[in-house]
Structure 1
């Protein structure tokens, strides 16, 4: 090498224990490891496992399963219904203030081009189940009750398994 050329000598031996490279320091979020050497953390559970879904996502899935169960029993007649999940009923504070019971679901018949709607309230259903009844079965019973009210039938005639998980 000529006497005027510049070159660098790395004194830390390449182990990363010395001073950071002054030419191109990477921001913290782009490094492969954090300062304690633990590395970037990934997901605790892969997305395809049941534990990775939130309670709201599981609840939505149970409502869908209930609708599919009814579709197997009633065929295409159920496809015209719309199933909605809502956190709590509208006007819940006023209802509690008056001393009324908290509804688990509501239904509205179809008018013109609008389909009939069955709305299931997530928080009241979860609170009512409280480990006494499987939440998925309580959801199905609530959906069956609302469908029976819309059709003007008994819940047992909608689904013969209605109420089998209810405590006596």
Structure 2
């Protein structure tokens, strides 16, 4: 089996692949976490965020913030405005946002992906960046924090973490969908 691609792949295809991967990886992670006792979600564990629940909320919060910016909508951040929902609300919100992100990417044209998006971040400033680069950032951000969730689980004694690598997705999940 040859693993190299010999034909050129469009930016749109690449971004659609990443969006589908992000959706699959978030669902895979959440499905694994749902098998764990509910009390572990609020247990303090040294990491970027002190609990699994807050880390999941951060993944959701940041993804929805970037997609809102890309769509020219006002962003609402749990970090600044608070969140009083349940763990189930966070899980459902994360999965719904991942699906909405994938649908958003599918609706974009190649030119729209290449197009610039202006945004402002408090304490950082005003910036203009292409849509595809913002999407890359959002996906990489989620990858980073999914890794933290796995490590936090490991610190809780969980040894059955799922494989959520992009290459695993390409070889086992995406190919299975097309076979």
| Structure-2-length-normalised TM-score | 0.25
Question: Quick check: which one's helix share is greater?
Answer: 2
| Structure-1-length-normalised TM-score | 0.27
Q: Larger radius of gyration, structure 1 or 2?
A: 1
The structure, 1 or 2, with the larger RCO (C-alpha pairs under 8 Å, 6+ apart) is 2
